[in-house]
Amino acid sequence: MRDFKKFEVWQLSHQLTLKIYTSTKNFPKEEFFGLTSQIRRSFASIGYNISEGSGRNSDKEFANFINIALGSSNEAENQLILAKDLDYINENDYQNFLTELIILKKKLVTLWNRLNGK
């Protein structure tokens, strides 16, 4: 059994999720059940899928969860764009989040490729 906490992709996703939770505290109160909740869930979902997949018995199963984590990262990116366009986060924060998310996505692809023997 793999220890998900040792995977760099999980560590990066966890740190990014913590930053998103802090940043979204400043979102408008009327967005609490809307974008605030959704963006938090999509970022958290990346780490959830890494951790769940790491507990699976085969590389193939783990790779499937990494693929789902990639889907969540795309959803998170879309929500970042929306938050920026609605002026809930400033351009600098957006760029910082996006840079970290892109690094995470690249590392997820690398891990997916490794698990699939590519």
d(CA 29, CA 47): 26
pTM of the model: 0.94
Residue partners of 24: CB distance under 8 A and separation at least 6: 36, 39, 40, 88
Task: Please give the pLDDT value at position 118.
Answer: 82
- When pLDDT is cut at 50, 70 and 90, the band that residue 108 belongs to is very high
- When pLDDT is cut at 50, 70 and 90, the band that residue 65 belongs to is very high
Residue partners of 107: CB distance under 8 A and separation at least 6: 8, 9, 12
The 10s digit of each residue's pLDDT in 84-101 is 999 999 999 999 999 999
What's the farthest any 2 CA atoms get from each other in the chain?
Answer: 47
Task: Give the number of other Cβ atoms within 10 Å of residue 107's Cβ.
Answer: 16
Contact status, residue 46 vs residue 76, Cβ threshold 8 Å: yes
Task: Please give the pLDDT value at position 1.
Answer: 74
d(CA 63, CA 58): 9
Task: Please give the pLDDT value at position 75.
Answer: 98
Task: Please give the pLDDT value at position 73.
Answer: 98
